[in-house]
Amino acid sequence: MKVTNIRFKSSDLIEKSDGLRFNVPQRGELATGFVVRFNGKPYAYLNQCAHVPIELDWQQGKFFNLTQDFIICATHGAHYEPNSGRCVLGPCKGKSLQPIEVYETNDEIIINLESIP
Ligand code: FES
């Protein structure tokens, strides 16, 4: 059966803390996405840097920089705005992460995999 959405408990997604990873089968066997909470809202992206298409997190789920105000790429340090996915510093400045539709309702975070092109 084709998986069209992924659900997490809202309480598992902590503000500016570890992101939750999930598989994105339609982008290949090993492709992953992630969701983080920033200023109260969930934001989900494909886990693929806009510079070189490799995963961002330096350890699984570790997406934020030390001051917890940017998503960073572990490889060359690109900084992305958590709420827009736009790279504001680093080799892919001006490019963006691929957003994935996400919403929160009834204490659940729901990721819509069908929103991925
Ligand atoms: S691979 Fe992410 S900044 Fe180079």
Domain ranges of the chain: 5-115
Residue 11 has pLDDT above 90, yes or no: yes
Residue 26 has pLDDT above 90, yes or no: no
Q: Is the CB of 76 under 6 A from ligand 1?
A: yes
Q: How far is the CA of 78 from the centre of ligand 1 (A)?
A: 6
Which mutation among 45, 49, 56, 88 tests ligand 1's pocket best, with the greatest number of atoms within 8 A of CB? Answer: 49
What's the pLDDT score for residue 97?
98
Over residues 62-115, the pLDDT tens digits come to 999 999 999 999 999 999 999 999 999 999 999 999 999 999 999 999 999 999
Superfamily of domain covering 5-115: Rieske [2Fe-2S] iron-sulphur domain (2.102.10.10)
Farthest CA pair distance, the chain: 41
Nearest CA owner, ligand 1 atom 4? 76
Instruction: Give mean pLDDT, residues 42-68.
Output: 96
Rounded CA separation 24/71 (Å): 19
Instruction: Give mean pLDDT, residues 15-44.
Output: 95
Residue 31's pLDDT band, with cuts at 50, 70 and 90, is very high
Residue 1 has pLDDT above 70, yes or no: no
Q: How far is the CA of 51 from the centre of ligand 1 (A)?
A: 5
Averaged pLDDT score across all residues of the chain? 96
Tokens of 52: 């070189």
